[in-house]
Amino acid sequence: MSIENKISRRNFLKGSAAAGAALGASKIGAPIYARVRNPNDVINVGVIGTGSRGNYLMDRMRKVDNVVITDLCDIYSPHLEQAWERNGKKGRKYNDYRKLLEQKDIDAVFVVTPLRFHVSQSIDALSAGKHIFCEKSLAYTVKEANDIVRAVHSSGLKFLVGYSRWTNQTEMIKDLVKKGAIGKVHHIFTHYHRNNTWVRFTGDPKWFRRLNWRLYWEYCGGQMTELVSHQITALNYVIDSHPISAIGTGAVDFYHEYNRETWDNVDVIFEYPDGLKVNSTSNFMNAKMGNSIEYLGTNGTIEPYRNKIRLYWETQTKHLQSLGIKGAYIKLGQSLKVSEEAVKVPGTEIEVPGERKNLVVHFFDCLRNDIEPVINVEEGRISSIQALLANKAIRLGRKVTWDEMLAEG
Ligand SMILES: NC(=O)c1ccc[n+]([C@@H]2O[C@H](COP(=O)([O-])OP(=O)(O)OC[C@H]3O[C@@H](n4cnc5c(N)ncnc54)[C@H](O)[C@@H]3O)[C@@H](O)[C@H]2O)c1
């Protein structure tokens, strides 16, 4: 756990009582996991946001024993109707999520709406006594990131954030890094590159903005919150840290249609403690580099690749001192003979064993067995603040520090 994590957890726990009052503690009923601890007890689920991801998650839920999707909500009726059909024409339907939350027999709620609504809907759902699976990115502002941590702690309810970092691959990379397999990690490069505009809906103009919400700041934080947030969550978990500052650049340089606001390319450098830098880029004009992360250490490089982990070893000799050559100097015209050719062939390839981890199954296990979700609200808070940090640095065109972000909330 990083320093800020440790400190913030303490502070949040301290502030919980006040937050409980702010939430209307009387509205928070007894934790409902008491009712669903028995594996044979049915867990009733309400889904807020029945778009693309909502349907993906519902397909997964329908495969879990004793889980029933009882309630569906979406502001856009065609999505609501399609999801209801797919649910075997079962479930109560709403256009207003507050009506869904009024249903006393719902145990858990999945919040699968655009980022702008995640925290407000989650806080309302906690007040209604529901456990929550909330999609990433967690918070739209720093203040929201802090509010939701307090609200979760004071509720005693389960809260899971749907980042994609929970994989056997990431667990193995964390282990390799911790054991010093590649020496001291000094740089991490992440790329989230696609050839894609994010425009998905061109129907009724009345719905254009709401359904192409990723194009507008009103609803999300663009590539940082929607894409890069997955990678920074994973790498923070691997190195057990978070940045102290960021600088970056970003713009709408290629896709000017539809008065697009969110950038189509971002390049950010995060500075971490102890000299570590994380270089994160995302663009929508070239997919060659795809979705990738590379961990660069003094002795080698780790690269997750499909269901493998590739390790590349540094073959070049280290600088002169490490060879025991003291006081060495280079004569004029003498070459250091250091090859700058990239190490392209992995020295070692490790197969990632085991089944894919399933966050949806895990979420229901948390409810039944009273365990802490693997991706909890605090991890979501850190990741959210980091994405917002990058966006602020880009907007201001200067280095922005973590402490400056904390002052916002
Ligand atoms: N974890 C992942 O890998 C992953 C993948 C994709 C999307 N997501 C996340 O899931 C969420 C939804 O993304 P999506 O691709 O399904 O988007 P989407 O546009 O397909 O679906 C969002 C739905 O929410 C509805 N909606 C909007 N505002 C609402 C409101 N106030 N109340 C109720 N419904 C509302 C929209 O009408 C739409 O049907 C986003 O937060 C996104 O970041 C996560």
**Structure confidence at residue 22 as a pLDDT band (50, 70, 90):** very low
The span from the CA of 227 to the CA of 213, in Å, is 14
Determine how β-strand 291-297 pairs with β-strand 185-193.
antiparallel
Q: Measured in angstroms, how far is the CA atom of residue 246 from the centroid of ligand 1?
A: 28
Mutate to test the pocket of ligand 1, among 113, 225, 228 (most ligand atoms within 8 A of CB): 113
Ligand 1 centroid–CA 112 distance in Å is: 5
Tell how far the Cα of 191 is from the centroid of ligand 1, in angstroms: 23
Report which protein residue has its CA nearest ligand 1's atom 40. Answer: 114
Q: From ligand 1's centre to the CA of 113, what distance in Å?
A: 4
Q: How confident is the model at residue 31 (pLDDT cuts 50, 70, 90)?
A: low
| Ligand 1 pocket mutation, candidates 47, 53, 164, 165, criterion most atoms within 8 A of CB | 53
Domains of the chain and any CATH numbers: 3-163+359-376 (3.40.50.720), 168-356 (3.30.360.10)
Q: Residues lining ligand 1, judged by CB closer than 6 Å? A: 48-54, 73-76, 79, 97, 112-115, 117, 135-136, 162, 164, 211, 226
Q: Identify any residues that bridge with 159 across adjacent strands, giving them in sequence order.
A: 132
Mean pLDDT of the chain: 88
CB atoms within 10 A of CB 231: 24
Q: What is the pLDDT of residues 344-374, one digit of tens each?
A: 788 889 999 887 899 999 999 999 999 999 9
pTM of the model: 0.90
Got the DSSP string for 191-249?
EEE-B-------S-GGGHHHHTGGG-TTT--HHIIIIIHHHHHHHHHHHT---SEEEEE
- Residue 24 C-alpha from the chain's centroid: 29
In tens, the pLDDT along 370-402 reads: 999 999 999 999 999 999 999 999 999 999 999
- pLDDT above 70: residue 9: no
Cα of 26 to ligand 1 centre, how many Å? Answer: 30
pLDDT score for 27? 40
- Residues 345 and 366: their CA atoms lie apart, in Å, by 42
Predicted pLDDT of residue 4: 54
